[in-house]
Amino acid sequence: MNKKNHYQPDTNAVRIQTARTNEMEHSTPMFLTSSFCFDDAEEMRATFADETDFNIYSRFSNPNVDEFVQKMCALEGAEAGYATASGMSAIFASFMALLKAGDHLLSARSIFGSTHTVVTKFLPKWGIESSYFDMNDPGGIEAMIKPNTRMIFVETPSNPGLEIIDMELLAKIANKHNIILNVDNCFATPVLQRPIEAGAHLVTHSATKWIDGQGRVLGGAVVGKKELIKEIHTFCRSTGPAMSPFNAWVLSKSMETLYVRMERHSESALKLAQALESNPYLSSVKYPFLPSHPQYAIAKKQMSGGGGIVCFELKGGLAQGVRFLNALQLLSLTANLGDSRSIASHPASTTHAKLTDQERAIVGITPGLIRISVGLENIKDILEDIEQALEKSK
Ligand SMILES: *Cc1c(COP(=O)(O)O)cnc(C)c1O
């Protein structure tokens, strides 16, 4: 590995690269191989005994995957990392490797739907307890810590409600009680926010979203303290949620443009949010860098940009939400975010349709909530499409 990570982060995202082969290629080739060869029995023995850092098998390590992990570590300022097949396998591995029967997980209530399923349906099967705290009431968190609390888990900004919490405050609480602070940094990416600098011990990622940025492959990563990653690596090496070399190759190339893309996504999202604030068909607009966001001051303190997600509330509720989706011409209706193509979603009629209004309200989803993932198209076209669809759906 050509570890030039003494450069600026945006240079590292471009320049960290697997060592050149004898072919003298400029761009890293794909290492689509399940296993790796040894010159002799002694080298093989030494490698299996951890006396060398040669590759053995792609479930453990692979040059493309290592390149991706090195970039993630450099960008997040982390000591070590492991890449997984999806964001969910990264989060699941961070729980399973570090929590045991009898432990307690303290999690924010506003978390990704599948993470919520893992916490409430699966962790109890292995005797791991959990409780949820409210991100809008950080003063109440410390009182929820129990003698067996081992980890605090949080997403900031949260999906889809864009709730934000002060990571330095969480780190202070976690360190005082000797608890691991695990932050899902999917929405901000290391370009806009670096949880480890704020005191987090672990950072989990769905690379499927902004890191790929083009809606092509699934991927995930956990980065953070060496001793914690060692446990996660041991767990993953044997249980098999490894990232495929092909996906790692795609994702590592994606990271070369991550800084440029996140700047553009954030710039367009802010323009969209500002323009929609005066729209007569909306009762509210939520975006981290709008002064009207309840945690605007915290967003400004810990983020360098507001990110690519804008949420708004339609005055006409559920029925208007359905009409709005049908009236869109440019924006895609799809279950993803963080793409070069702008996407609209209406949780109340889709992902959260099975819940009652009351259950939705608890997780911050109101009937008329629309989530826009702002893409790389010209902002004029994005705004015009949303405005015409609002007009038609009124
Ligand atoms: C999508 C998402 C995940 C899960 O990632 P996958 O790559 O789909 O497994 C986790 N956390 C957040 C915040 C997400 O948006």
For residue 78, the CA-to-ligand 1 centroid distance in Å is: 20
Q: 263 φ, ψ to 5°?
A: -65, -45
Confidence of residue 167 (pLDDT cuts 50, 70, 90): very high
87 C-beta closer than 6 A to ligand 1: yes
- Which pLDDT score, from 0 to 100, does residue 352 have? 83
User: What stretch(es) of the chain map to CATH 3.40.640.10?
Assistant: 9-257
Residue-wise DSSP of 311-368 = EEEETTHHHHHHHHHHH-SSSEE-S--S-SS-EEE-GGGTTTTTS-HHHHHHTT--TT
Provide the 8-state DSSP code for 175: H
- Which pLDDT score, from 0 to 100, does residue 160 have? 87
Nearest CA to ligand 1 atom 12: 112
Q: Which of 6, 373, 9 is nearest to 190 (CA)?
A: 9
- Measured from the CA of 90, which atom of ligand 1 is nearest? 9
Q: Note the Cα 126 to chain centre separation in Å.
A: 25
The answer to whether residue 331 scores a pLDDT higher than 70 is yes
User: What stretch(es) of the chain map to CATH 3.90.1150.10?
Assistant: 258-393
The answer to whether residue 192 scores a pLDDT higher than 80 is yes
For residue 6, the CA-to-ligand 1 centroid distance in Å is: 30
Pocket probe for ligand 1: among 112, 164, 216, 247, the residue whose CB has the most ligand atoms within 8 Å is 112
Pocket probe for ligand 1: among 91, 94, 183, 209, the residue whose CB has the most ligand atoms within 8 Å is 209
For residue 137, the CA-to-ligand 1 centroid distance in Å is: 24
For residue 43, the CA-to-ligand 1 centroid distance in Å is: 40
385 C-beta closer than 6 A to ligand 1: no
The CATH label, of 3.40.640.10, 3.40.50.300, 3.90.1150.10, 3.90.76.10, for the domain at 9-257 is 3.40.640.10
205 C-beta closer than 6 A to ligand 1: no
Confidence of residue 314 (pLDDT cuts 50, 70, 90): very high
- Which pLDDT score, from 0 to 100, does residue 270 have? 98
245-256 and 63-76 helices, crossing angle to 10°:
40
For residue 105, the CA-to-ligand 1 centroid distance in Å is: 19
- Which pLDDT score, from 0 to 100, does residue 363 have? 77
Mean of the pLDDT values across residues 290-319? Answer: 97
- Which pLDDT score, from 0 to 100, does residue 129 have? 98
CATH code of the region 258-393: 3.90.1150.10
247 C-beta closer than 6 A to ligand 1: no
Report pLDDT digits (tens) over 172-189.
999 999 999 999 999 999
Rounded-to-integer distance, Cα 60 and Cα 57, Å: 6
Our CA angle for 374, 380, 381, nearest 5°, is 70
- Which pLDDT score, from 0 to 100, does residue 5 have? 57
- Which pLDDT score, from 0 to 100, does residue 353 have? 82
- Measured from the CA of 89, which atom of ligand 1 is nearest? 9
Kind and range of the H or E element at 131? Answer: strand 129-133
Confidence of residue 124 (pLDDT cuts 50, 70, 90): very high
Report pLDDT digits (tens) over 4-34.
557 999 999 999 999 999 999 999 999 999 9
- Which pLDDT score, from 0 to 100, does residue 218 have? 98
Query: For strand 202-206 and strand 180-184, is the pairing parallel, antiparallel, or unpaired?
Result: parallel
Mean of the pLDDT values across residues 209-227? Answer: 98
Q: What's the length of the chain?
A: 394
For residue 15, the CA-to-ligand 1 centroid distance in Å is: 27
- Which pLDDT score, from 0 to 100, does residue 1 have? 53
The answer to whether residue 357 scores a pLDDT higher than 90 is no
Q: What is the mean pLDDT of the chain?
A: 96
Pocket probe for ligand 1: among 135, 158, 159, the residue whose CB has the most ligand atoms within 8 Å is 159
220 C-beta closer than 6 A to ligand 1: yes
40: CB partners within 8 A, 6+ apart: none
Q: Please tell me whether residue 82 adopts helix, strand or coil conformation.
A: strand
The answer to whether residue 81 scores a pLDDT higher than 80 is yes
Nearest CA to ligand 1 atom 4: 87
159 C-beta closer than 6 A to ligand 1: yes
Mean of the pLDDT values across residues 298-308? Answer: 98
Contact between 151 and 180 under an 8 Å Cβ cutoff? The reply is: yes
Rounded-to-integer distance, Cα 192 and Cα 188, Å: 5
Helices (H), the chain: 9-15, 41-48, 63-76, 87-98, 113-117, 167-176, 189-192, 226-239, 245-256, 258-276, 296-302, 317-327, 357-362, 379-393
